[in-house]
Amino acid sequence: MPPRLVAPSLLAADHGDFAAGVRAVEESGAPWLHLDIMDGHFVPNISFGPQVVADLRPRTRLHFDVHLMLSRPDRYVDAFIKAGADRITVHVEAQHDVAATLRAIRQAGLPAGLALNPDCDPARALPFLEQVDLVLCMTVFPGFGGQAFMPSVLTSIRTFDAERRQGGRAFRLEVDGGINAETAALCREAGADTFVAGTAFYKAADRKAFLRSVTG
Protein backbone atom coordinates (compact mmCIF):
# COMPACT_ATOMS: atom_id res chain seq x y z
CA MET A 1 0.00 0.00 0.00
CA PRO A 2 1.42 3.44 -0.90
CA PRO A 3 1.97 5.92 1.97
CA ARG A 4 -1.26 7.57 3.07
CA LEU A 5 -1.88 11.17 2.13
CA VAL A 6 -4.61 13.80 2.07
CA ALA A 7 -5.57 15.82 -1.02
CA PRO A 8 -7.58 18.85 0.14
CA SER A 9 -10.22 19.82 -2.43
CA LEU A 10 -10.22 23.40 -3.68
CA LEU A 11 -13.93 23.05 -4.41
CA ALA A 12 -14.57 23.87 -0.74
CA ALA A 13 -12.40 27.01 -0.79
CA ASP A 14 -13.66 30.56 -1.48
CA HIS A 15 -14.04 30.63 -5.29
CA GLY A 16 -13.43 34.36 -5.23
CA ASP A 17 -9.97 33.80 -3.76
CA PHE A 18 -8.50 30.51 -4.92
CA ALA A 19 -4.96 31.75 -4.22
CA ALA A 20 -5.80 31.93 -0.51
CA GLY A 21 -7.33 28.46 -0.74
CA VAL A 22 -4.07 27.13 -2.17
CA ARG A 23 -2.01 28.88 0.53
CA ALA A 24 -4.12 27.21 3.22
CA VAL A 25 -3.25 23.81 1.75
CA GLU A 26 0.45 24.68 1.57
CA GLU A 27 0.46 25.88 5.17
CA SER A 28 -1.20 22.66 6.33
CA GLY A 29 1.62 20.55 4.90
CA ALA A 30 -0.67 18.44 2.69
CA PRO A 31 1.25 17.27 -0.39
CA TRP A 32 -1.56 17.26 -2.96
CA LEU A 33 -4.26 19.66 -4.12
CA HIS A 34 -7.44 18.04 -5.47
CA LEU A 35 -9.00 20.00 -8.35
CA ASP A 36 -12.64 19.13 -9.13
CA ILE A 37 -13.56 19.94 -12.72
CA MET A 38 -17.32 19.84 -13.44
CA ASP A 39 -19.10 20.46 -16.73
CA GLY A 40 -22.75 20.83 -15.68
CA HIS A 41 -23.54 17.75 -17.78
CA PHE A 42 -21.80 14.73 -16.29
CA VAL A 43 -22.68 16.26 -12.92
CA PRO A 44 -25.32 18.88 -12.08
CA ASN A 45 -22.82 21.62 -11.22
CA ILE A 46 -20.13 23.74 -12.90
CA SER A 47 -16.87 24.44 -11.09
CA PHE A 48 -13.84 25.89 -12.92
CA GLY A 49 -11.69 25.11 -15.93
CA PRO A 50 -8.13 24.85 -17.22
CA GLN A 51 -7.43 28.59 -16.98
CA VAL A 52 -7.86 28.52 -13.21
CA VAL A 53 -5.51 25.54 -12.99
CA ALA A 54 -2.94 27.29 -15.23
CA ASP A 55 -3.09 30.47 -13.17
CA LEU A 56 -2.61 28.58 -9.90
CA ARG A 57 0.29 26.52 -11.28
CA PRO A 58 3.06 29.13 -10.82
CA ARG A 59 1.89 29.83 -7.26
CA THR A 60 2.60 26.40 -5.79
CA ARG A 61 4.50 23.16 -6.10
CA LEU A 62 1.62 21.13 -4.67
CA HIS A 63 0.84 18.00 -6.66
CA PHE A 64 -2.21 18.85 -8.81
CA ASP A 65 -4.64 15.92 -8.58
CA VAL A 66 -7.14 16.74 -11.33
CA HIS A 67 -10.52 14.98 -11.14
CA LEU A 68 -12.46 15.37 -14.38
CA MET A 69 -16.23 15.11 -13.92
CA LEU A 70 -16.90 15.64 -17.61
CA SER A 71 -19.06 13.76 -20.10
CA ARG A 72 -16.20 13.88 -22.65
CA PRO A 73 -12.98 13.85 -20.62
CA ASP A 74 -11.05 12.75 -23.71
CA ARG A 75 -11.62 16.19 -25.25
CA TYR A 76 -10.06 18.05 -22.31
CA VAL A 77 -7.14 15.91 -21.17
CA ASP A 78 -4.64 17.90 -23.26
CA ALA A 79 -5.89 21.23 -21.94
CA PHE A 80 -5.41 20.14 -18.33
CA ILE A 81 -1.97 18.71 -19.05
CA LYS A 82 -0.96 22.05 -20.58
CA ALA A 83 -2.47 23.83 -17.58
CA GLY A 84 -0.12 21.97 -15.23
CA ALA A 85 -1.93 18.87 -13.98
CA ASP A 86 0.35 16.36 -12.25
CA ARG A 87 -2.16 13.51 -12.60
CA ILE A 88 -5.57 13.17 -14.18
CA THR A 89 -8.51 10.99 -13.17
CA VAL A 90 -11.45 10.29 -15.48
CA HIS A 91 -14.75 8.51 -14.84
CA VAL A 92 -15.46 5.02 -16.14
CA GLU A 93 -19.13 6.06 -16.65
CA ALA A 94 -18.32 8.99 -18.99
CA GLN A 95 -18.76 8.86 -22.78
CA HIS A 96 -15.31 7.95 -24.03
CA ASP A 97 -13.00 5.12 -24.96
CA VAL A 98 -11.73 4.62 -21.41
CA ALA A 99 -8.65 2.63 -22.42
CA ALA A 100 -7.67 5.26 -25.00
CA THR A 101 -8.08 8.15 -22.57
CA LEU A 102 -6.00 6.41 -19.89
CA ARG A 103 -3.36 5.66 -22.51
CA ALA A 104 -3.28 9.31 -23.62
CA ILE A 105 -2.73 10.48 -20.03
CA ARG A 106 0.12 8.04 -19.47
CA GLN A 107 1.70 8.75 -22.85
CA ALA A 108 1.93 12.38 -21.80
CA GLY A 109 3.97 11.17 -18.82
CA LEU A 110 1.29 11.62 -16.14
CA PRO A 111 -0.17 9.04 -13.78
CA ALA A 112 -3.71 8.12 -14.80
CA GLY A 113 -6.68 7.59 -12.51
CA LEU A 114 -10.05 5.94 -12.97
CA ALA A 115 -13.06 7.10 -10.93
CA LEU A 116 -16.31 5.29 -10.13
CA ASN A 117 -19.56 6.70 -8.83
CA PRO A 118 -20.99 5.15 -5.62
CA ASP A 119 -23.48 2.98 -7.55
CA CYS A 120 -20.95 1.71 -10.09
CA ASP A 121 -20.12 -1.99 -10.08
CA PRO A 122 -16.36 -2.30 -9.43
CA ALA A 123 -16.33 -4.96 -12.19
CA ARG A 124 -16.56 -2.14 -14.74
CA ALA A 125 -13.13 -0.87 -13.71
CA LEU A 126 -11.35 -4.21 -13.36
CA PRO A 127 -10.43 -4.51 -17.09
CA PHE A 128 -8.47 -1.25 -16.82
CA LEU A 129 -6.42 -1.92 -13.68
CA GLU A 130 -3.20 -2.46 -15.62
CA GLN A 131 -3.63 1.00 -17.10
CA VAL A 132 -4.18 2.96 -13.91
CA ASP A 133 -2.03 4.50 -11.19
CA LEU A 134 -5.03 5.38 -9.03
CA VAL A 135 -8.60 4.17 -8.52
CA LEU A 136 -10.99 6.80 -7.15
CA CYS A 137 -14.02 5.45 -5.30
CA MET A 138 -16.55 8.27 -4.99
CA THR A 139 -18.08 8.11 -1.53
CA VAL A 140 -20.83 10.59 -2.53
CA PHE A 141 -22.52 11.22 -5.88
CA PRO A 142 -20.21 13.81 -7.43
CA GLY A 143 -21.27 17.39 -8.03
CA PHE A 144 -21.23 19.13 -4.68
CA GLY A 145 -19.09 19.35 -1.59
CA GLY A 146 -20.50 18.89 1.88
CA GLN A 147 -22.53 15.72 1.26
CA ALA A 148 -22.78 12.76 3.63
CA PHE A 149 -20.36 9.84 3.20
CA MET A 150 -21.97 6.66 1.79
CA PRO A 151 -20.78 3.61 3.78
CA SER A 152 -22.08 1.29 1.03
CA VAL A 153 -18.95 2.20 -0.99
CA LEU A 154 -16.71 0.45 1.58
CA THR A 155 -17.47 -2.83 -0.18
CA SER A 156 -16.03 -1.50 -3.46
CA ILE A 157 -12.95 -0.16 -1.67
CA ARG A 158 -12.36 -3.63 -0.20
CA THR A 159 -12.76 -5.18 -3.66
CA PHE A 160 -10.11 -2.91 -5.17
CA ASP A 161 -7.77 -3.41 -2.24
CA ALA A 162 -8.09 -7.18 -2.65
CA GLU A 163 -7.47 -6.89 -6.41
CA ARG A 164 -4.40 -4.80 -5.71
CA ARG A 165 -2.95 -7.34 -3.28
CA GLN A 166 -3.79 -10.40 -5.38
CA GLY A 167 -2.56 -8.83 -8.61
CA GLY A 168 0.58 -7.39 -7.01
CA ARG A 169 -0.43 -3.93 -8.25
CA ALA A 170 0.62 -0.58 -6.85
CA PHE A 171 -2.19 1.81 -7.74
CA ARG A 172 -3.38 4.31 -5.16
CA LEU A 173 -6.87 3.83 -3.75
CA GLU A 174 -8.49 7.22 -3.32
CA VAL A 175 -11.76 8.18 -1.64
CA ASP A 176 -13.65 11.41 -2.26
CA GLY A 177 -16.78 12.78 -0.61
CA GLY A 178 -17.77 13.28 3.00
CA ILE A 179 -14.29 12.45 4.31
CA ASN A 180 -13.58 13.46 7.92
CA ALA A 181 -11.73 11.84 10.84
CA GLU A 182 -14.51 9.28 11.40
CA THR A 183 -15.24 8.28 7.80
CA ALA A 184 -11.52 8.23 6.94
CA ALA A 185 -11.02 5.59 9.64
CA LEU A 186 -13.62 3.36 7.93
CA CYS A 187 -11.90 3.89 4.56
CA ARG A 188 -8.46 3.14 5.99
CA GLU A 189 -9.77 -0.11 7.41
CA ALA A 190 -11.17 -0.99 3.94
CA GLY A 191 -7.81 -0.28 2.28
CA ALA A 192 -7.91 3.34 1.07
CA ASP A 193 -4.65 5.32 1.19
CA THR A 194 -5.48 8.61 -0.53
CA PHE A 195 -8.10 10.88 1.03
CA VAL A 196 -9.78 13.84 -0.64
CA ALA A 197 -11.29 16.25 1.87
CA GLY A 198 -13.00 19.52 1.03
CA THR A 199 -15.45 20.82 3.61
CA ALA A 200 -13.83 19.13 6.61
CA PHE A 201 -10.36 20.40 5.65
CA TYR A 202 -11.32 24.05 5.19
CA LYS A 203 -13.56 24.07 8.28
CA ALA A 204 -10.96 22.48 10.55
CA ALA A 205 -9.72 24.80 13.29
CA ASP A 206 -6.36 23.01 13.28
CA ARG A 207 -5.67 21.75 9.75
CA LYS A 208 -2.42 19.96 10.59
CA ALA A 209 -4.24 18.00 13.31
CA PHE A 210 -7.06 17.29 10.85
CA LEU A 211 -4.59 15.78 8.35
CA ARG A 212 -3.16 13.54 11.08
CA SER A 213 -6.66 12.41 12.04
CA VAL A 214 -7.35 11.39 8.45
CA THR A 215 -4.14 9.51 7.71
CA GLY A 216 -4.22 7.80 11.13
Q: Residue 128 in contact with residue 100, Cβ under 8 Å? A: no
Asked about 65 being catalytic, the answer comes back as no
Amino acid letter, residue 200: A
CB of 167 to ligand DX5, least distance (A): 26
CB of 68 to Zn ion, least distance (A): 9
Question: Does 65 participate in binding Zn ion (rule CB under 5 A)?
Answer: no
> Count H helices, E strands: the chain?
8, 8
Question: Does 145 participate in binding ligand DX5 (rule CB under 6 A)?
Answer: yes
In the sheet that holds 63-69, the strands lie side by side as: 5-8, 194-197, 172-176, 134-138, 112-116, 87-91, 63-69, 32-38
Q: Residue 81 in contact with residue 88, Cβ under 8 Å? A: yes
CB of 10 to ligand DX5, least distance (A): 8
Is the CB of 67 or the CB of 164 nearer to Zn ion? 67
Question: Does 8 participate in binding ligand DX5 (rule CB under 6 A)?
Answer: no
Positions 89 through 118 that interact with ligand DX5 (CB under 6 A) = none
Residue 194 three-state SS: strand
Could you give the string, one character per residue 24-63, with x where binding to Zn ion holds by CB under 5 A and - elsewhere?
------------x---------------------------
Is the CB of 63 or the CB of 169 nearer to ligand DX5? 63
- Return the bridge partners of 58, or none: none
**Integer CA distances (angstroms), 115 to 21, 76, 141, 155, 157, in order:** 24, 16, 11, 15, 12
Question: Does 142 participate in binding ligand DX5 (rule CB under 6 A)?
Answer: yes
Binding site for ligand DX5 (CB under 6 A): 9, 11-12, 34, 36, 67, 140, 142-147, 176-179, 196-200
